[in-house]
Each structure stands twice: as C-alpha cells, then as structure tokens.
Chain A
Amino acid sequence: MFVKQPYLSAIVFIFSSSFLWAQEGSLDGLEIHGNFEVYAQTYNEDSIIGAPNVPEKSGVNAFGNFIATKGAFTAGVRIEAYLPPVQGFSNNYGTQPVGAPYRFAQFAKGKFDITVGNFYEQFGNGMILRSYEERALGLDNAFDGLRIKVKPIPGLYIKGIVGNQRFYWQKSTGYVRAIDGEIAINELIESLAESKLRFTLGASFVSKYEAAGLKNFEYPENVASWAGRGQINYGGFSLLGEYVYKFNDPNSDNHYIYRPGKGVLLSATYSQKGFGINITAKSIDNMHFRANRDAQLNDLFINYLPALTRQHTYNLATTLYPYATQPAGEIGIQVDIIYKIKKGSLLGGKYGTTIQGNVAIINSLDTQQISSPSDLDSEDYLPSDPSREGYKANLWTFGDKIYYRDYNIEVDRKFSKKIKLKTSYIYFVANTDISQGTALGKNIHAHIGVLDGLFKVTRKHSIRTEIQHMWTEQDQGNWAFAMIEYGYSPHWFVTILNQYNYGNPTKALRVNYPTAQLAYINGANRVSLAYGRQRAGIFCVGGVCRPVPAANGVTVSLTSSF
C-alpha cells in the first residue's frame, strides 16, 4: 500500500510509543484523545466580487490531532491534508497534499518537563518569542527541536529551547536557541505568600543562527536579542511592562540595515466589581525577527507583536479596514473601559446595563532617514558604510503620520427575560496605505452603527438579528448589513445574512453578498453548511467565531473532539 513517508513515520511513532507502554505491562490509565477539523469550499467564478475562476473548483483543509497520554508521558501527532489548499491559504501548503508536520513526545513529572519534536512556546508577551498555530490564518511556526522546562525551587520557572521553525512543509534554515526565566516573588518568599502586593519578574534571551548567504556584504550569522519584564499587582491595580532589544539583524524587511531593534509595552489596569479600565501603550522599532532573514509575509516570525486595537466582532468592522501591526515601527496607546450600571437603578433597568468604551491611537514612529531605502537596496552601496544604520528614531515620541484611530462605544441592556439589545458605534480613521498596502494617498474615515437584538422566544428557541451600517465617503462608500439567526438549543442554527455595498461610487459594483447557513451541533461535534458570497475577516455565526477568506460557493465545516 502506498503511504507517504512522513505519514508513515508518524504512525510508527505513535504505535511504537504505545507498544513501549504496553511492554511496561499495563495500559491502565492510557488515554487517547484528539480532534478533527475539516474545512471545504467550492468555487464559482464571480467576477463582480473578484472571486476568480478556480481551476480545481474546490479546496479542502483537514486536520487531525491524535494524542496519547499515560501518566507523565504524552505523545502526539497532527496529520494535515490540503487537497488542494482552500483559497486564501498559501500555495506552499499545496506542495504536499498530506503529511504529519507536527509530532512530539513529552515527559513531565515534578520539577521537569521535557519535550522533543514539535512544540509551541511563548516568552512574556511574546514580543521576543512566540510560536503558535492560527489555523484559520494558515499560520503555524511551531518549533521542531527540544524544550526543557524546570522549576528548581518554588516561584522560579526556567525554560530552554532549541530548534528550527516550521515553514509550511519545510523547516527554517535558521536555528533558534532561547532561554527564559520567571520569578514569582510571592511564591519564592514564603512570608509574602498571602500578601496583597504581588510581583512577577522575567527575563529572556533569544539567539538565532543562520549561515551568511550570497549577498555582497557580511551578515551577522548570530543575532541575539533579550527582553526584561515585570508585573506588580495590588488588589484591583496592576502595572506591567516589557522591554525587548534586538542586536543588528539585517534582513529583507529592513533593507539589510544594521540598526538594532527595540520594543516596549506598558500596561496599567484597575478593576472592581462592575468597573474595569485598561490602558496599554506600545512602541516598536525595527522588530521584524524571523528565523530566515529573507522570509516574507507572515512566515517564520520568531516574535509576535500584538496589534493595539480592539478586536471587533461585527462583520463590517472586522472585514473592511482592520489594523495590522507594523513591525518596522509604530507607536500607540489604547484605553479600554467597561462599566456596569447597577440592576434596579434608574439607568440600569431591572437587569443592569453594560457600557464598554475603547479608544486606540496609532501613529508612525518619529524617525529621520539617513539613507533612502532605494539607496540601501542598490547593489553598489557599501555595507561597511556607517550610514547603513538606515534611519534614526526615538522610541518614546509619536511621529506625525496617522496609522490608525479607533473610537468605539457599546451599550448592552437586557430589557426582560426575553429581550436583550446591544448597540454599538465605531469610528475608524484608517491609513490603509500602511495597513493594507493600498495607494490611496489619504486616510479612510468610516462610521459604523450596529443594532444587535436577541429574542428568547421560549426556553429552547431564540432569534438574533443584527443590523449594521457603515458610512464612508472614501474607498467603496457605504455598506449595509442585515442578519437573522434562529437558534434551537442545543443542536441547530439557521442563519441568513446579506451585505450590500449600495454606496459604491461605481454603480456596477453596488453588490449584494447574501449567505445562508445551517449548523448542527452535537456535544463536541459541529457541522455547518453554507452557501453564498463571503468576504474575508473574522466572522461569527452559529455561535462560533472564525476568520474566513473571500469566496462564492458552498462551504462545509466540520469540527469534532474526542
């Protein structure tokens, strides 16, 4: 029988581990568990919404995790299939239809936790190192190598890793070696165990090795970076900060300059019952940090730089003008407030009313150019030239270019046992030339209003409706959105929705995007079938959120855990 090699090795791997246990004489306590996910789409050409003629007519992405656990041992494998990849996912997945890119064996007992094979890891806020899987984005930069976690004394946590990163069906050529230590002061010092004042401190060191390539100047083959972090809590107050520094790392993102990278994240929080506020500030400069210096797009990032804006859930707010972090440089601040007006008060009503407000301001970093990118890219530019610093910047001052503004408020009120209403207003100023690579030469100003009503008809039957509208004079003009969703607990959802770009300045592009969906849920299994036109973005229907790419056709989604 024809079996693909990595596939075979994965099966042998799991079986041999299970036989090893069997030899110990007992299978008592052995647990086999895992999950499946299948996402399939068919494609109709739909030139008016830009859905191309897809020669293969359909795409299927499928994932199966199998994990075996017995006592301190865990071993697992993930089999992935792209037959061929669903549109919107990298064609690099299509180079091998089926395989087992993720397999690991782990031993965790007492103070030690050792993993060989693939693993995911995050240090601090991830600004220096984070490997993770975001399947809906087709993103997986898992390490393949060795990880050791040790807790030598209470309150001290040390992690060491070494490995390559996943690059679709291949591995990074660069190696990553990293160590992280974290101290929980209140666990370390016994007399502080019950103190209201709580401290944690952490530090990381990450080094990447990649052999110099063929360019006509010298690369640092080893690139080091470090980070320090701390958090203080006192009752409802909390204050945290992380600083990260990366030594010279000429790469394709920064035009091969020798300037170091820097990043800082500061966050303050206060909360009590019925009220919470968080203020976070972030500044980053030249922080593309990848396992291969010539990697592009979302590939092979060693670090993760969180976007400092609200993660919206309403369709028009998530899909049209979202913000994307600019690792090359950005500075921003975000304030997020929640307040619950008490039940029974005049404003709060019988069941209470919740108000949430959020403001995010993101600008360019204040920089002075030393040499232009085109000079830096020219072949005869001397690498040893001290001006290969590229530019000068101050991490702590705002530049004058707007990258993004997001002002939004949401009021949520339950009127009776049967009726709940939520209303939102969102105002974006989006520099899509920066966040989406457009060439508009101007910012987009968009106002969005949302009315979201939930009507619990009887104990098991409910109807939810959403009406959204976006006003904008730029880009594609105004949009309207309406949705109705019928839920029959605990098994069924039927959803019908339409988006209408009625304000498009080009009459022929005033298009409707209707979609109908049926979903069936049984325990940990969920199947859904949808037909219609869809745009890209994070999208919530049928009680589940997932990002989806644009298409016209039938979508079948299946998830299951066992």
Chain B
Amino acid sequence: MCAYSYPQLIPLLSQFEFMIKTTIISTVFFLYTLFSFGQNEGRSIPDVTVKKLDNSSFQTSEITNDGNPIIISFWATWCSPCKRELNAIAEDFEDWVDETGVKLVAISIDDARNMHKVKPYADGQGWEYDVYIDANADFKRAMNVNNVPHTFLIDGNGHIVWQHNSYAPGDEDELYELVEKLSKGESID
C-alpha cells in the first residue's frame, strides 16, 4: 500500500523544502565560522566553576599538571560504561603515573539526586583521581560534551589535543599509548 496519499504529500513537500533550506543555511553558517577563523591547534580548558568533594568551589582553569599530560573524563554514578572505563584505568593507574606523570581529572555530571554518592563511590573504588562535581553541567556544556563517557587528553601546554566519546574495553590501552607519546613530547595525530 502507498505510504502517502496525495493531500498528505503537499505539507510533506513544503516541509522538505524547509528542511533543505535550513540545512543549506546551517551548513553555510558552519563552514563560514570554521574556515574564516581557521582551526586552532587545540582549545585550552575553559574556565568554569565546579565543586570539590568538600563542596567548595573550584575553577577549571586551575586544572594543571606541571607540563605533564592530563586526562579529563566526564562520568556519572549512573553510567555503567563510565565506571567500567574509570575502574579499568584505576587498575594500572599507579604505573601510568610513574611512567608518564599523567593526572586524571574525573568530572562527575551527577546532579543533586546522586552527587552525594560521588565521594563514597570514588573512595570506595580507591580512585587516585582528582574528582569534581559539575552538578548543573556548566563544564559539560563548555567542553561540548553530548553524552558520557567522554574523555579528553590535554597536552603539557594545556591544549585539548584528543577526545573520545563512549567506552569499549580496550580503549584504555589506546589512551595510554597517547599519554605516553605526549609525555615524551611527541605529537599525536
């Protein structure tokens, strides 16, 4: 049977026309912004207020590591793949730090429903990470994160040089290879 009868087709067509127009406009707009300013080498970490685990405020521009690489990982207590990733890294994290001087900053996007469970969870798992709470997603927005888990790699100069969305077992090995490269001053492409 035919999916669309004729009278239904007219509004549908005008909608398509509209879709096409808007798509063209947004593409032009996007390309304009992208090419007129050129691509940066890598953004620096935006400055947003998040909370430390003792509830005091912390500016994200203060995330530094003496010229060593930094991993920023967005996670939540209700996100299983996030916890799988951070727990997988935790198993070898001592070695990672010894060999590369890397620091891991775990940004919890838990809101008021779960944010009081963040510290017990992080301590309970024995994480040696810097954990902050981004309860109203200000840092998440500033870093353009759509979904968790989302992981960023920051080089010794404070530039975001790599990012990855979602987690599959084994991703941590790729991440570590990149951290090693950065700590040796090599570029990652």
Q: Which residues on A are within 8 Å of B, measured CB to CB?
A: 1-4, 7, 11, 14, 18, 27, 30-35, 37, 55-57, 64-69, 79, 81, 83, 97-98, 108, 120-122, 125-127, 130, 132-133, 157, 182, 184, 186-187, 198, 200, 231, 233, 236, 238, 240, 267, 269-278, 280, 304, 306-308, 311-313, 336-340, 351, 354, 356, 454, 456, 459-462, 464, 487-490, 492-493, 519, 521, 523-526, 538, 540, 542-546, 559-562
Contacts and interface: CB of A to CB of B under 8 A. Distances in A.
A35 B145 CA distance: 7
B168 A544 contact: no
19 contacts: A34-B144, A108-B47, A120-B141, A231-B54, A267-B116, A269-B116, A273-B123, A275-B123, A278-B120, A304-B111, A306-B112, A338-B120, A356-B124, A456-B170, A490-B174, A521-B166, A523-B163, A524-B164, A559-B147
A338 B79 contact: no
A132 B127 CA distance: 29
Given A456-B169, A521-B165, A561-B145, A32 B25 contact: no
Given A240-B116, A487-B169, A133 B78 contact: no
A231 B54 CA distance: 8
Contacts of B162: 523
Given A18-B37, A66-B29, A313-B78, 15 more contacts: A67-B144, A97-B15, A126-B111, A127-B112, A157-B57, A231-B54, A238-B55, A304-B111, A338-B124, A340-B126, A354-B124, A354-B125, A454-B84, A526-B146, A540-B81
A545 B120 contact: no
A366 B26 CA distance: 55
B119 A269 contact: yes
Interface in B1-32: 3, 8, 12, 15, 18-19, 21-22, 25-26, 29-30
Interface stretch (B62-70, B93-101, B130-138, B179-187): B130-138
B165 A544 contact: yes
Interface string B64-108: 000000000000111111001000000100000000000000000
B123 A272 contact: yes
Contacts of A490: 164, 168, 170-171, 174
A155 B167 CA distance: 38
A32 B165 contact: no
Contact of A339 (B43, B124, B146): B124
Given A184-B56, A233-B54, A11 B29 contact: yes
A336 B125 contact: no
A274 B186 CA distance: 37
Contacts of B169: 454, 456, 462, 464, 487, 489
Contact of A132 (B116, B137, B166): B137
B168 A493 contact: yes
B79 A336 contact: no
Contact of A125 (B112, B121, B167): B112
Nearest to A275: B124
A489 B168 contact: yes
A32 B137 contact: no
